[in-house]
Amino acid sequence: MIKANDPKLRSWVNVPEGSDFPIQNLPFGIFSTSNRSERVGIAIGEQILDLVAVAEFGYFDAIRFDKKVFNQPTLNNFIALGKEITTSVRNRVSELLEEKTKALQGQAGAREKCLVKMKDAQLHLPVHIGDYTDFYSSIDHATNMGKMFRDPENALLPNWKHIPVGYHGRASSIVVSGGSFFRPKGQTKAPDANVPSFGPTKSLDFELETAFIIGKSTQMGDSISTEKADDFIFGMVLFNDWSARDIQAWEYVPLGPFLAKNFCSVISAWIVTLDALEPFRVPGYKQEPTVLPYLEYSGEKNIAIHLEVSICPEKKSETIVSRSDYKYMYWTMEQQLAHHTVNGCNMNVGDMLASGTISGPEEGSYGSMMEITWRGTKPVKMSDGSERKFINDNDSVIIRGWAEKDGVRVGFGECSSKVLAAKE
Ligand code: MN
Report pLDDT digits (tens) over 249-273.
999 999 999 999 999 999 999 999 9
Tally of structural domains, the chain: 2
CA of 75 relative to ligand 1 center, distance in Å: 24
In a shared domain, residues 250 and 371 = yes
CA of 166 relative to ligand 1 center, distance in Å: 9
**How far is 106 from 109, CA to CA, in rounded Å?**
9
The pLDDT of 296-306, averaged and rounded, is: 97
3-state secondary structure of 142: helix
Say if CB 45 and CB 15 are below 8 A apart: yes
pTM above threshold 0.95: yes
Model confidence at 311, in pLDDT bands (50, 70, 90)? very high
Rg (CA), the chain: 22
Say if CB 350 and CB 331 are below 8 A apart: no
CA of 174 relative to ligand 1 center, distance in Å: 12
Choose one of 124, 152, 168: the last residue of a domain: 124
**How far is 334 from 340, CA to CA, in rounded Å?**
10
Length of the chain: 424
Choose one of 124, 153, 170: the last residue of a domain: 124
In a shared domain, residues 47 and 144 = no
In a shared domain, residues 259 and 378 = yes
β-partners of residue 419 are: 181
Is the peptide bond prior to 254 cis by the omega test (within 30 degrees of 0)? yes
In a shared domain, residues 209 and 161 = yes
Mean of pLDDT over the chain: 97
Tens-place pLDDT, residues 371-388: 999 999 999 999 999 999
Share of the chain above pLDDT 70, in %: 100
Asked whether the CA dihedral 23, 25, 28, 34 is positive or negative, the reply is negative
For residue 40, what is the domain's CATH number? Answer: 2.30.30.230
**How far is 103 from 407, CA to CA, in rounded Å?**
27
Residue 71's pLDDT is 98
In a shared domain, residues 84 and 215 = no
**How far is 136 from 134, CA to CA, in rounded Å?**
7
CA of 240 relative to ligand 1 center, distance in Å: 8
Structural domain including 275 reads: 132-420
Per the annotation, the verdict on 141 as an active-site residue is yes
In a shared domain, residues 267 and 360 = yes
Tens-place pLDDT, residues 187-219: 999 989 999 999 999 999 999 999 999 999 999
For residue 348, the 8-state DSSP code is -
Tens-place pLDDT, residues 219-250: 999 999 999 999 999 999 999 999 999 999 99
For residue 340, what is the domain's CATH number? Answer: 3.90.850.10
CA of 357 relative to ligand 1 center, distance in Å: 6
In a shared domain, residues 106 and 187 = no
Query: Among 124, 128, 141, 168, which one carries the catalytic annotation?
Result: 141
**How far is 169 from 245, CA to CA, in rounded Å?**
16
Tens-place pLDDT, residues 5-34: 999 999 999 999 999 999 999 999 999 999
* pLDDT surpassing 90 at residue 1: no
Residue 172's pLDDT is 98
DSSP secondary structure, 160-208, as one string = TTTS--EEE--STTEEETTEEEEPPEEEE--TT-SS-EEEE-S-EE--E
For residue 364, the 8-state DSSP code is T
CA of 231 relative to ligand 1 center, distance in Å: 25
In a shared domain, residues 161 and 58 = no
CA of 103 relative to ligand 1 center, distance in Å: 45
In a shared domain, residues 185 and 290 = yes
Residue 2's pLDDT is 86
The set of residues, in sequence order, having a beta carbon less than 8 Å from that of 35 and lying 6+ positions away, is: none
The pLDDT of 303-325, averaged and rounded, is: 98
Choose one of 77, 94, 124: the last residue of a domain: 124
In a shared domain, residues 144 and 120 = no
Say if CB 200 and CB 422 are below 8 A apart: yes
Question: CB within 5 A of ion ligand 1: which residues?
Answer: 134, 207, 241
Share of the chain above pLDDT 90, in %: 98
Closest by Cα among 299, 322, 319 to 311: 319
β-partners of residue 404 are: 409
* pLDDT surpassing 90 at residue 155: yes
Cα 74 → chain centroid = 17
Residue 412's pLDDT is 98
CA of 135 relative to ligand 1 center, distance in Å: 7
In a shared domain, residues 105 and 9 = yes
**How far is 258 from 251, CA to CA, in rounded Å?**
7
In a shared domain, residues 341 and 261 = yes
